[in-house]
A and B are shown apart, each in its own frame.
Chain A
Amino acid sequence: MASASVIDVGGLQAGRRSLFARLRGGLQGSEYAWALAFCVPYVGVFIAFVVFPVIYGLWLGHSPALYVELMNDPIYQQTVVNTILYLVIGVNLKMFLALLLSGFFMRKSWWAKGLLMVYVLPWAVPALPTFISIHWMLNTEWGLINNVIWDTFHADGPGWLDTSRWLALGSVIVTYIWKNMPFWTVILLAGRMAIPQELYEAAEVDGATGLRRFVHVSFPLMANLYLVCTLLSTIFTLGDFNTAYFISGGGPALSTHVLATLGIRDAFEIARPQLGVAAVLSALPLMIPLVILLMHKLRTSEVQL
């Protein structure tokens, strides 16, 4: 009996310890306190500046009447079309060009390496100065682009930003590509460099060169990376405020807003924060699937190269 009780007590203690150990992940007393303390600043930042604004935002935009108002607003309808065009054309064209250029920058020659240093400048230079510069380049009367058109063809260039919605939106998309393409080229270049050289050699022995090498070797190996990059870029672009704001400013006649700029305009220029939040929240049907997909992709699949 005595021995049995000892065993019982021992079993109980062991059970308790393992329960605590499980809760603490195997860390003991003071160590656990340290581990917790190390997390406190981040948890604080996350609750105060992410969780709280998100809940506050959802509360601000909770009234269904706001969405009815938005749906009936022609400016909002145009904005949705602009946002979709911006995402579909801007992101995909940029990623495709970046994929091609990453192949170009695989060249071993000295000038290609030097060019890469120059080519990444748009990414290194802060956004605002270059956007203001591009805004001035697109000026109808005195901008660099129309000056070049005048000097070479002796013809007046179009009013890029203040006559046509499509020219202005096109300018925004081209600027967006200019600014963001180098970054993704560098990412895809790193992906290409990670492909073992032996694979290419084997493919060459089998007679695959040029385009066939790309279709059958490079692209299958980079497809997952390309997909993850495209999805990530889509979500970043959805939140892009600066490009549209500084290139077209939503003009002419509020026809080139995207959701990110329209939300800010509604909230601060016409002083209706609830409406602004609703405009931003109306992107959730697109955002939620993207976020879920990306969380899954980024967490589970180490991109295999």
Chain B
Amino acid sequence: MSAVTADRLPKKPNYRGRRIIGEALAISLGVILAIWTLAPIYNMVMVALESHNDVFSTSIWPTDPSPYSFWIVFTEGYWYLEYFWHQYANSIYIGFWTVFLTLWIGSMVSYSIGRMRIKHGWLLTNAALLTYLVPASFLAIPFYRMMQSYGLGNNVWSIIAVEVTFATPYAIFIFQQYGRSIPLELDEAARIDGASPLQVYFRVYLPLMAPALVAVGTYALLLAWNEYLYQFLLLSNKRSMTVPVALAQFLNSDESPWNYMMATSIVYAVPPVIIYYLFRGRMTAGLTMGGVKG
């Protein structure tokens, strides 16, 4: 330690001046970044706290902030918000089933490919990879017509089908990557003790995969919560639609009550943000594993 200090001692004064300038530059960059990041979110909160007249003014902060718009949203007190809680429940329903089915289908197929080493499993891995690379929006038109001909228009299950289709490839990646860190001997030991493949799946594989399940579950939920195009195309009935579709309808109407719209946006955005921050560490680990190492 002392040797290092002694070694660097002569250069120190030179470094200090530079370090202060460097730190000052870094802090100013940080401030710019914070403003850049928060401006749209600030705008959302500001407009939500304003009254209708204040929205159409040149002020850049709310002159008379009040939570009135949130009250309107919570009590469905505006004709566009007639079915707000119903639509919110639809979003939650879609999110829940997307997470559940993605984890179920993804973990089963990964177990079969990665642990039981089914022959030609690589074909399935490639199929998943290919799906991961096909932009979802490019399949929207044929998918829409297909669902209409099955009579699944205005049915939330058609949306769940889409979200699961586009979330499972990612799940398969992550599960296979993560599964490699679990020794196969554990499965074999359980098999020798007389466990069936199903028991190994439930009692050995799934518990050990818990961190990957959390990462993929969060991903699937955010995917379903973020998705707009399919929900817009397939859900047109006020009672079957989800919050994003209702929000976009708001936007396209002649008189847009921006304060109600922004309040609705915030109410819709808060749950995924909380979930994201709760599982942030796992999500990031999962994303770097899947998005980068394939």
At the interface, yes or no: B203 with Cβ under 8 Å from chain A? no
A residues apposed to B, CB below 8 Å? 22-27, 30-32, 34-36, 38-39, 41-43, 45-46, 48-50, 52-54, 56-57, 60, 101, 104, 107, 111-112, 115, 117-122, 124-130, 132-137, 141-142, 144, 147-148, 150-151, 178, 182-183, 186-187, 190-191, 225, 228-229, 232, 235-236, 238-242, 246, 260, 263-264, 267-268, 273, 276-277, 280, 283, 290-291, 294-295, 297-299, 302-303
B247 interface neighbour in A124, A132, A277, Cβ under 8 Å? A132
At the interface, yes or no: B127 with Cβ under 8 Å from chain A? yes
CB–CB A277/B112 < 8 A: no
A280 to B134 alpha-carbon distance, docked (Å): 12
CB–CB A42/B106 < 8 A: yes
CB–CB A241/B60 < 8 A: no
The verdict on A39 contacting B124 (CB below 8 Å), with A137-B39, A178-B36 known, is yes
Which 10 residue pairs of A and B lie closest in terms of their CB atoms, listed nearest first? A239-B135, A25-B119, A298-B294, A129-B265, A38-B112, A34-B197, A42-B109, A124-B276, A190-B288, A57-B142
- A-contact bits for B122-142, CB 8 A (1 contact / 0 none): 001011111101111111111
A50 to B134 alpha-carbon distance, docked (Å): 9
- Least CB distance from B283 to A in Å reads 9
How many residues belonging to B are interface residues under a CB distance threshold of 8 Å? 96
- Least CB distance from B120 to A in Å reads 8
At the interface, yes or no: B228 with Cβ under 8 Å from chain A? yes
The verdict on A239 contacting B58 (CB below 8 Å), with A60-B141, A130-B44, A264-B141 known, is no
A49 interface neighbour in B109, B135, B165, B198, Cβ under 8 Å? B165
B248 interface neighbour in A117, A120, A128, A191, Cβ under 8 Å? A128
The verdict on A50 contacting B131 (CB below 8 Å), with A35-B116, A121-B273 known, is yes
Query: Can you pick out 19 interface pairs between chain A and chain B where the beta carbons lie within 8 Å of each other?
Result: A34-B198, A42-B168, A48-B161, A50-B131, A56-B142, A112-B26, A121-B273, A125-B272, A137-B43, A144-B46, A151-B58, A187-B288, A239-B137, A242-B228, A298-B129, A299-B126, A299-B129, A303-B293, A303-B294
CB–CB B109/A129 < 8 A: no
The verdict on A35 contacting B118 (CB below 8 Å), with A41-B104, A41-B108, A137-B39 known, is yes
CB-CB under 8 A from B37, the residues of chain A are: 118-119, 121-122, 178, 182
Stretch at the interface among B27-35, B68-76, B82-90, B206-214: B27-35
CB–CB A42/B137 < 8 A: no
B137 interface neighbour in A101, A125, A178, A260, Cβ under 8 Å? A260
Interface centre among B39, B46, B164 (most CB of A within 10 A): B39
A127 to B59 alpha-carbon distance, docked (Å): 26
At the interface, yes or no: B239 with Cβ under 8 Å from chain A? no
- Least CB distance from B143 to A in Å reads 5
CB–CB B284/A190 < 8 A: yes
CB–CB A54/B116 < 8 A: no
A291 interface neighbour in B33, B111, B130, B197, Cβ under 8 Å? B130
A48 to B139 alpha-carbon distance, docked (Å): 12
A183 to B283 alpha-carbon distance, docked (Å): 11
New A-B contacts (14) at CB < 8 Å, excluding given A283-B138, A291-B134: A25-B119, A38-B109, A56-B142, A60-B145, A126-B269, A132-B261, A133-B43, A133-B44, A178-B36, A241-B140, A241-B229, A268-B233, A295-B130, A303-B294
- Least CB distance from A133 to B in Å reads 4
B133 interface neighbour in A117, A148, A291, A303, Cβ under 8 Å? A291
At the interface, yes or no: B190 with Cβ under 8 Å from chain A? no
CB-CB under 8 A from A303, the residues of chain B are: 292-294
CB–CB A42/B124 < 8 A: yes
CB-CB under 8 A from A23, the residues of chain B are: 119
The verdict on A144 contacting B161 (CB below 8 Å), with A27-B116, A151-B60 known, is no
A141 to B54 alpha-carbon distance, docked (Å): 13
CB–CB B44/A186 < 8 A: no
CB-CB under 8 A from B266, the residues of chain A are: 129
